[in-house]
Amino acid sequence: MILHIDMDAFFAAVEQRDNPVLKGKPIIISGNSKRSVVSTASYEARKFGIRSAMPVFQAKEKCRELIIVPGNMRKYRDNSMKIMSILTEFSPMVEQVSIDEAYLDIRGTRRLFGEPFELANKIKQRIRDELSLTCSIGIAPVKFLAKIASDMQKPDGLTILPHEKIEQFIQTLPIQKVPGVGKRAMQQMAVLKIKTLGDINRFPAQVLEKKFGKMGLQLMRLAKGEDGGTVQTEHVRKSISSETTLDRDISNFDTARQILLDLSQRVGRQLRKKENVCRTVSIKLKFSDFTQITRSHTSESPISSSNAIFDEAVALYEKVKLKKKIRLIGVGVSGLVHKDAPYQMQLLCGKKEDDRQWTRVDHALDRIGEKFGTGIVNKASLKTLDKGRSSS
Ligand code: TTP
Ligand code: MG
């Protein structure tokens, strides 16, 4: 599941917190020149119809008691950093998308923080206790739905969309709520009588692409509840991989298996050298006609032994329906975090005993390898592996 968090009236809430005179009052954050626009408005000011990006003179017309507060970006950035730092204690996968907004991949957090709503309440509580600010949280299986959910019960909201409610939610979701659907697209939507995201399903891909270009195809995916977007953290971007171009194309499972083992060991060695553990393992296969595919799997528990990486890689390989011979095989790991990261430590306590034991064995092998050269001690099954493959 993905969690999306967005602070409530962020700049205005910070100012109201720091200056008691402003509490409960309609305020906006902005410059005070004729050309200034509203950066944000407190919820009290929003009752008058005042919104972000509205010219200040217009906002003043809407509300006579409106208080205009000059902004203090340094202070907002400082608060933002503190919020993001709290979030990283709940998941190693945090993607900050703006000054007051972030996505968290919360798969695998249940053991530590409970059900998603408990986790969300813990986050809200921490932010309230430490920063005296409120936020709204949305939780859903995919990013775009989590973002829409976080906006549904603002301020101080919490909205959870479990898998079984997604279909009905999409059927009734007003199309203008979908990120990326602007005014121009709305005119076309009206012509086609598309009112909800679910209505998109009535149209074939060609029509959607013709009318809306790339966005049409994206809407088609969203209407099926898919958005393909993963939470992009620094850690996720960090990855380690190794690949091998074979001397001759192969289709034999045993040979592929041995190569996967060799690559898993190379990748595992580098992973442990960086003192990292990983959650995602991926494989890459390039075929005789130069087409290629990648497959990946993310587990709840982080791993660091070559054996566990190998098991994941083989499982991924076995799921591929081979139609052509293979000319290149690659193995990669991502979702890396330091093995001693506080979050990770707790999680590691529950990880597979197998991986822990194998990691210990691997560490011993790694040390021997460093001293005498890698390849001195190797898994028996590697002995039969073809020599003379080119690898990187
Ligand atoms: P938002 O999260 O869009 O707005 P918000 O936090 O003020 O209110 P909401 O409760 O609806 O989330 O933006 C975060 C901050 O970014 C906002 O406090 C001020 C700044 N901002 C601008 O400076 N200009 C803008 O046009 C918008 C939308 C935001
Ligand atoms: Mg906000």
Instruction: Please state which of the ranges 189-193, 234-238, 326-330, 354-358 shows the lowest mean pLDDT.
Output: 234-238
Largest CA distance in the chain: 84
Is the CB of residue 385 below 6 angstroms from any atom belonging to ligand 1? no
Residue 45 has pLDDT above 60, yes or no: yes
Sequence-ordered list of residues with C-beta below 8 angstroms from that of 15, at least 6 positions apart, any chain:
22, 27, 29, 69, 72
The answer to whether the CB of 154 is under 6 A from ligand 1 is yes
Ligand 1 and 15: CB distance under 6 A:
no
| HSE toward the beta carbon, residue 127, CA cutoff 13 A | 31
Whether pLDDT at 308 is above 50: yes
In tens, the pLDDT along 313-325 reads 999 999 999 999 9
β partners of residue 138: 4, 159
- For residue 355, what pLDDT is reported? 81
Give residue 69 CA to ligand 1 midpoint distance, Å: 15
Nearest-CA residue for ligand 1 atom 7 is 9
Which of the pair, 140 or 302, is modelled with greater confidence?
140
Evaluate if residue 267 carries a pLDDT over 60.
yes
Q: Is the CB of 8 under 6 A from ligand 1?
A: yes
The residue from 44, 95, 101, 312 that is catalytic is 101
pLDDT at residue 340, as a whole number: 64
**Ligand nearest to the CA of residue 46, numbered in listed order:** 1
Q: In this predicted model, which residue has the larger pLDDT, 308 or 230?
A: 308
**pLDDT for 138 beyond 80:** yes
Dihedral (Cα; 161, 162, 164, 169), 10-degree rounding? 10
Asked if residue 256 has its Cβ within 6 Å of ligand 1, the reply is no
Decide if 226 is catalytic: no
* pLDDT (tens digit per residue) in 55-109: 999 999 999 999 999 999 889 988 998 999 999 999 988 988 888 999 999 998 9
**Ligand 1 pocket test, candidate residues 29, 40, 80, most atoms within 8 A of CB:** 40
In the reported structure, the alpha carbon of residue 319 is separated from the centroid of ligand 1 by a whole-number distance in angstroms of 45
d(CA 238, CA 132): 34
Mean pLDDT of the region 293-316: 91
Q: Mind listing the pLDDT tens digit for each residue in 209-255?
A: 999 998 999 999 999 998 877 887 764 457 899 999 988 999 999 99
Report the separation in Å between the CA atom of 13 and the middle of ligand 2, taken as the mean of its atom positions.
10
Looking at 47-86, which runs of residues are DSSP E strands?
A: 67-69
Structure token digits, residue 379? 């898994």
Poorest-confidence range of 149-153, 189-193, 223-227, 312-316? Answer: 223-227
Residue nearest to atom 8 of ligand 1 (CA): 9
Does the predicted TM-score (pTM) go above 0.85? no
